[in-house]
A and B are shown apart, each in its own frame.
Chain A
Amino acid sequence: MSAPHYPAGTVRALLPTAHVSDATRAALQQRLDAPADYAPQLLAPETFALLEAVAACLFPQPDRPEHPIPLAPSVDQRLAEGRADGWRYDVLPPDREAYRLGLGGIQETAQALFLNDFPTLDTQQRHHVMQAVAGGTPPGTTWQTLDAARFFEEMLAELTETYYAHPLAQEEIGYVGMADLPAWTKIGLNEKDDREIPMSE
């Protein structure tokens, strides 16, 4: 991982400054401060653990062994509160049902391919299972009623957007757009404002 990124602590250092608005600071700080132990509100504990295993497969974070950016809680919270994002593929059932069915399906595919539960599989095997689901025709009776490719796309998009909404993930890709006050003045090619510190390799 040699791509340029901001040194650890860049976003945390910017948050208390006058470059960040109160509303922005509150939103990002809340994500940084989210407690590590989350008790699922909607999904059953074993279903939630399954979602966590899937999220870890789709978003490997070997660089954060102790404190990975949490992804599954955001999904569980959204489903519990009944929030939507304005649309749904007509081929998929309502989100709660889709997640429960889909996670059950992943379990079924894991059993069909490796005779084991998904969370007990090794990295390579988990990858295989997800590949099969993403490909749209995985083994398992669930997938006869649930469109595997669409379910995978929806779940992946939700986890991905959750990941990159986190200040530490934004730091990782060199984004400090949250520090937008009073204005960006250097917006051309290869230009940066003073608060955009150089990135390291």
Chain B
Amino acid sequence: MPDEEVLEEGVLSPVQPAIQDPLLRELMADAPTTAPALAIPQEQAQPTTAPLEEVDCVVIGLGAGGAPLLARLAQAGLKVVALEAGPWHNPAKDFATDERAQDFLFWNDERLSAGGDPLAMGKNNSGTGVGGSTLHYTAYTPRPLPDDLHIKRDFDKGEDWPLTYDDLAPYYEEVEQFLGVSGPSPYPWGPSRPKGYALAPLPLNSAAQLMVRGAEKIGIRTSPAPNAALSARYYQEGVGWREACTNRGFCQAGCSNGAKASMDVTFIPLAVKYGADIRPNSFVTEIERNAQGLITAVVYTQNGQQHRQPCRNLFLCGGSVETPRLLLMNELALSSGQVGRNLMAHPGVQVWGTFADEVRPNKGIPGGLISQDTHRPKDADFAGGYLLQSIGVMPVTFSGQVARGRKLWGQPLRDYMRNFNHIAGINILGDCLPHTSNYLELSDELDARQLPKPRLHFTAQENEHRMNAHAEKVMRNIWEAAGATDIWAFNRYAHVIGTARMGLSGDDAVVDRDGRAFEVPNLYISDNSTFPSALSVNPALTIMALSLRTADKFLEREQHRDA
């Protein structure tokens, strides 16, 4: 990968920070070698290049939110341009089986994490490149259960979706079949489905086998998990044959053989086949409007050149941080007062144990086994619920968690890490309630592009604490029953959700159920920022389903207008 891309992606600070601290000033004055000038090409205000022709739609962001609708719009014959901040990779060539060598897949631009439970970003939940965060998601694709969508009706807490499970079910099915999701048919939890998963489940790795062992003993049902990684070769329009998973276990870094259904090997090739214009390394800075408040163009920087792309409609698909950041920077769709608010993060407590058996936790699909028996636990003292999954892990990620979560260092850390091949984990993915103290704002600190860094405030509330405590107890019981020793919990929060919620009216929501902004009729948002509640499942499948639905609703409206 060319150097300038690395540099563009992760920049600490654009300017020499003013040194506030006297001790630091002293240290620096003493130091004969002061900091060299930043080896980062500074963005200068560039004259815009020759004007580009107006297109029907511009899509910003090519992850789970942007890629499916891009394909749909292109298939409908519209002229579409996609702007993706990151580069276009060649997985077979670029993706080493090495965590550090793959860290260019993460959104490494700095975000500021504030609050009582500051959220880890970057590799924890944010991706960049053509494919977005799906380049390093675990491909874990459970559907929410119907009651996930009306947590307020059921618990008088949180917010209901302006959509039902039945509105989304056909889209879930379409996405599962298109991606080639491997999973159990019938699926043990939730309503019966007209169609089973596209492929048989992936083989259970050792962590999954251990979880079966422990869960059976304490009466928790388990099942192989649905994963968007191929358990057999699969044919896909726009791509051809995709090869089966090789059990490499590097899903959270980046799949090198195309078995994992990231957007770059699924919806994006389909979009390209139908004429979508993909522009990688394109960072959007400005959204222009006319006197009526309609969006007319976006301004973006690509390889140091500034461009202006006029468009009739804009689809904003940057995820729960970059989407509200663009809205806030451009003072767009702010009248509901909800942009940046309702930030939620999935409780994702992990419980690790050491086994006499050889585990080798890096092999096989990381999220191998699922249980949704804990979806609405009978003894719950909290609203909502969670799912359980076995987890695989790679050494660098694991060691970092041991250092942070277990507070081990020195010889005890090295001694513990020598058990790597005997360690297995389980984690949860639980619902989260919105709270006024959890939000995103623009900070005063600027990044290399001279744009304000986002600041995320997150403090887990009573409901999250109670859910975590319940879940930790269940997971400890499973591991004890499976024969684990030295059991410990790593308290973490995963996916960032909310910040531009959908709802029934512009009084308390940013977009309607179709993803259309109440305030700006030709602006659509499609990503996890529009989720009114967090759901007790991984978000990727729902983001993709919503993306296709948003495209369909948009196309219907366009048809009516033409008629």
Contacts and interface: CB of A to CB of B under 8 A. Distances in A.
B560 interface: no
Contact of B21 (A88, A101, A156): A101
Interface in A150-200: 153, 156-157, 160-161, 163-165, 170, 172-175, 177-178, 180-185, 187-192, 196, 199
Given A41-B36, A172-B418, A183 B248 contact: yes
B97 interface: yes
A111 interface: no
B7 A177 contact: no
B109 interface: yes
Contacts of B518: none
Nearest to B94: A23
Given A23-B94, A101-B24, A173-B417, A84 B400 contact: no
A58 B399 CA distance: 13
Of A80, A104, A187, A196, chain B has the most CB atoms within 10 Å of the CB of A187
Contacts of B23: 101, 104-105, 108, 141-142
B238 interface: no
A72 B560 CA distance: 63
Interface string B1-25: 0000011001111000101110110
A60 B410 CA distance: 6
Contact of A23 (B24, B101, B204, B402): B101
Interface in B62-111: 93-101, 103, 106-111
A81 B249 CA distance: 30
B348 to A, nearest CB: 16
A189 B211 CA distance: 11
Nearest to B210: A189
Of B38, B203, B394, B417, chain A has the most CB atoms within 10 Å of the CB of B417
B409 interface: yes
B111 A87 contact: yes
A32 interface: no
Given A47-B31, A83-B108, A58 B409 contact: yes
Contacts of B111: 86-88
Interface in B376-429: 394-396, 398-400, 402-404, 407, 409-411, 413-415, 417-421
Contacts of B396: 161, 164-165
B36 A1 contact: no
A105 B418 CA distance: 32
Contacts of A121: none
Contact of A175 (B19, B40, B114, B362): B362
A165 B99 contact: yes
A110 to B, nearest CB: 14
Contact of A134 (B120, B407, B413): B407
Given A24-B101, A94-B12, A177-B394, A88 B112 contact: yes
A90 B24 contact: no
A85 B103 contact: yes
Contacts of A4: 418, 421
A47 B109 CA distance: 26
Contacts of A142: 21, 23
Contact of A21 (B97, B414, B445): B97
Nearest to B407: A134
Of A91, A160, A190, chain B has the most CB atoms within 10 Å of the CB of A160
A83 B122 CA distance: 12
A166 to B, nearest CB: 9
B137 to A, nearest CB: 15
B360 A196 contact: yes
Of B95, B249, B410, chain A has the most CB atoms within 10 Å of the CB of B410
Given A57-B410, A85-B122, A86-B107, A47 B12 contact: no
A164 to B, nearest CB: 4
B101 to A, nearest CB: 4
B538 interface: no
A130 interface: yes
Nearest to A31: B100
Contacts of B364: 184, 187
Contacts of A170: 395
Contacts of B250: 177, 180
Contact of A82 (B12, B96, B106, B107): B12
Contacts of A93: 17, 20
Contacts of B20: 93, 145
A58 to B, nearest CB: 5
B96 A24 contact: yes
B106 A90 contact: no
Given A90-B114, A160-B413, A82 B98 contact: no
B504 interface: no
B32 interface: yes
B206 interface: yes
Contacts of B209: 188-189
Interface in A74-104: 79-91, 93-97, 100-101, 104
Interface string B415-458: 10111110000000000000000000000010010000001000
B205 interface: yes
Contacts of B419: 3, 173
Given A165-B100, A173-B421, A84 B11 contact: yes
B152 interface: no
A78 to B, nearest CB: 9
Contacts of B103: 85
A164 B203 CA distance: 28
Contacts of B46: none
Of B12, B20, B31, chain A has the most CB atoms within 10 Å of the CB of B12
16 contacts: A3-B415, A4-B418, A23-B93, A42-B36, A44-B32, A57-B410, A81-B6, A88-B112, A100-B27, A145-B21, A175-B362, A175-B421, A180-B248, A188-B205, A188-B209, A189-B206
Interface of B: 6-7, 10-13, 17, 19-21, 23-24, 27-28, 30-33, 35-36, 38-40, 93-101, 103, 106-114, 118-124, 126, 203-206, 209-210, 246-250, 256, 357-360, 362-364, 394-396, 398-400, 402-404, 407, 409-411, 413-415, 417-421, 445, 448, 455
